[in-house]
């Protein structure tokens, strides 16, 4: 089938440029109430700020073009601008200011595993840094590689690798190429009556390779699981050769090396095929709302549901602050009812959906939840990918907005929640707005996803980095993870060893040295 071409993301904003919009009137009044009169802070004109000239010598570019084809090695300003950094707020602040210092010297677009291998061989030969690029949705500095000591830096853009390679209906697996964006992968699988069921907030722009390289977790993780749990096989191009992983659904043949590559962010190799478990496309999807008197009561109810083995497909809880401004519905942001909003979703065959829905409702009702019907749930499902667009609108009026996430045990949820909130408010001031939701749950614990808004100061980048450091310090001090699903990149790397220990850091360095002896793959990312 012919895939619908996905639009390039705006170089200074999130997502489809056609969907960029000013702050909605309902939100503007709320923001002015919190931060006072707003001041327009437009970004510089992208066309007026070209990236630095490409530093790759012409002879090296000519050599690469001879190996891959001239049309697949691009060094024009516009293409290089579109492959500069990811979409964290620090990334966007730099782009809005016209800072393109991290632009690649060239953008290389392989069309196959062999093409990727050829690029890596060229990079090793000439000592050029290579940054694998999927959808560009990284929010942790995962696309900002170290340049010092290299002859140049190229973006390895996997946009041409978009095939559904195979479908095994008997085993219910499918092999996908890494450049497929979320909607493209789902469209190919839907034509086969199948679904992957992986819908993170970045779904519209992130890719299969990116999902695997960052150990992504989708909004339906309660029912479908995390992406790393879906992966059953991998094909990887490394500077030392091809590596295939996954010969069976389960094994005891030593440690599971698939998990070593999953989450490696392109630092150990380039994923060229990802084999995943798939499900039959659901016949019915139902989303409903529930209200709880407090975040603690709602979290206790979530724990009861998952520990009873009644996981719905979607299970999400906003705290009192997020519920109060209705952030679960970016299209209708504004004052909401008191309490905490829970979204519960079910997918599958109609009879199975009805049975699971009834069982979950009985348990939630017995625990004190108030059913709100389908309106709230369906509204959330309709706008589930829209929140990042609101961040850009806030930056346009001088309000700093960013997110961060963690995960911890149920027994430490309240401690971690309180500590992170206190650290963020302590750093950004009492006027800061700190919101939180739980969107990924396990029998043993849950994620905590924080959204922060504060009036931007004279140096908003330093302002956020200070707040991020304060919150990250308390996360690691409390024994929580530095990241549940955003990956490490460069932003989380200073705290990684605190989580995995000095010996863990040594193991990662050893793996890097073995698979990438000259260090050309995404240097400076992940590995401490």
Q: What amino acid positions are annotated as catalytic residues?
A: 449
User: Token digits for 382?
Assistant: 């309709």
Alpha helices in 41-145 (DSSP H): 58-68, 77-82, 89-96, 113-126
User: How does strand 129-133 pair with strand 270-277?
Assistant: unpaired
Q: From the centroid of its chain, how far is CA 11?
A: 18
Task: Collapse the DSSP code of 305 into the 3-class scheme (helix H, G, I; strand E, B; otherwise coil) and give the result.
Answer: helix
DSSP code of residue 349: S
DSSP code of residue 491: T
Q: What is the DSSP track for 233-288?
A: EEEEEETTEEEEE-SSSS--SSS-THHHHTT-TTSS-EEEEEEEE-EEPPSEEEEE
Sign of CA dihedral 184, 188, 191, 197: negative
Q: From the centroid of its chain, how far is CA 471?
A: 19
User: Token digits for 316?
Assistant: 């999400």
Measured CA to CA in angstroms, residue 187 lies from 1, 3, 183 at distances of: 9, 8, 6
Q: In whole angstroms, give the CA distance from residue 407 to residue 484.
A: 6
User: Token digits for 221?
Assistant: 């993780």
**CB 239, CB 124: distance < 8 Å:** yes
Q: In whole angstroms, give the CA distance from residue 457 to residue 459.
A: 5
Q: From the centroid of its chain, how far is CA 196?
A: 17
Measured CA to CA in angstroms, residue 184 lies from 20, 178, 204 at distances of: 22, 11, 9
Task: Collapse the DSSP code of 117 into the 3-class scheme (helix H, G, I; strand E, B; otherwise coil) and give the result.
Answer: helix
Q: What is the DSSP track for 440-456?
A: -B-SSEEEEEEEEEEE-
User: Token digits for 80?
Assistant: 């290089």
Bridge partners of 46? none
Q: In whole angstroms, give the CA distance from residue 386 to residue 398.
A: 20
């Amino acid at each position: 089938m012919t895939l619908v071409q996905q639009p390039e993301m705006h170089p200074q904003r999130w997502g489809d440029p056609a969907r960029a919009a000013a702050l909605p009137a309902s939100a503007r009044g709320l923001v002015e109430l919190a931060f006072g009169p707003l001041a327009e802070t437009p970004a510089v004109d992208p066309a007026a700020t070209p990236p630095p000239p490409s530093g790759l010598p012409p002879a090296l570019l000519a050599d690469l073009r001879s190996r891959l084809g001239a049309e697949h090695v691009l060094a024009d300003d516009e293409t290089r601008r579109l492959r500069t950094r990811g979409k964290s707020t620090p990334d966007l602040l730099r782009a809005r200011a016209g800072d393109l210092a991290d632009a690649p010297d060239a953008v290389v677009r392989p069309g196959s595993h062999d093409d990727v291998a050829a690029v890596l061989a060229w990079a090793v030969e000439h000592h050029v840094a290579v940054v694998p690029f999927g959808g560009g949705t990284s929010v942790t500095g995962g696309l900002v590689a170290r340049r010092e000591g290299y002859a140049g830096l190229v973006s390895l853009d996997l946009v041409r690798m978009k095939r559904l390679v195979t479908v095994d209906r008997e085993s219910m697996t499918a092999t996908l190429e890494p450049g497929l964006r979320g909607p493209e992968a789902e469209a190919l699988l839907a034509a086969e009556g199948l679904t992957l069921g992986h819908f993170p907030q970045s779904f519209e722009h992130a890719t299969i390779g990116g999902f695997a390289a960052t150990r992504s977790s989708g909004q339906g993780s309660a029912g479908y699981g995390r992406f790393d749990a879906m992966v059953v096989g991998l094909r990887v191009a490394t500077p030392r050769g091809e590596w295939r992983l996954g010969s069976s659904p389960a094994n005891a043949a030593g440690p599971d090396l698939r998990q070593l590559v999953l989450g490696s962010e392109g630092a150990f190799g380039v994923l060229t095929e990802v084999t995943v478990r798939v499900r039959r496309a659901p016949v019915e999807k139902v989303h409903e709302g529930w209200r709880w008197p407090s975040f603690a009561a709602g979290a206790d109810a979530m724990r009861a549901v998952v520990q009873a083995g009644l996981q719905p497909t979607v299970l999400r809880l906003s705290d009192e602050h997020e519920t109060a401004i209705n952030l679960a519905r970016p299209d209708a942001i504004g004052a909401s009812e008191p309490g905490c909003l829970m979204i519960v979703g079910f997918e599958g065959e109609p009879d199975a959906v009805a049975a699971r829905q009834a069982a979950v409702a009985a348990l939630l009702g017995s625990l004190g939840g108030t059913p709100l019907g389908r309106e709230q749930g369906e509204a959330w499902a309709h706008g589930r990918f829209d929140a990042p667009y609101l961040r850009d609108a806030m930056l346009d009026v001088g309000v700093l907005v960013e997110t961060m996430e963690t995960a911890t045990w149920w027994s430490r949820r309240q401690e971690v929640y309180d500590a992170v909130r206190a650290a963020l408010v302590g750093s950004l001031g009492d006027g800061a707005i700190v919101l939180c939701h739980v969107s990924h749950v396990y029998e043993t614990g849950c994620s905590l996803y924080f959204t922060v808004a504060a009036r931007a100061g004279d140096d908003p980048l330093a302002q956020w980095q200070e707040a991020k450091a304060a919150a990250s310090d308390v996360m690691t001090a409390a024994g929580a993870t530095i990241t549940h699903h955003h990956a490490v990149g460069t932003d989380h790397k200073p705290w990684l060893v605190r989580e995995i220990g000095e010996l863990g850091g040594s193991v990662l360095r050893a793996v890097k040295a073995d698979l990438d002896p000259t260090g050309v793959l995404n240097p400076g990312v992940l590995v401490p």
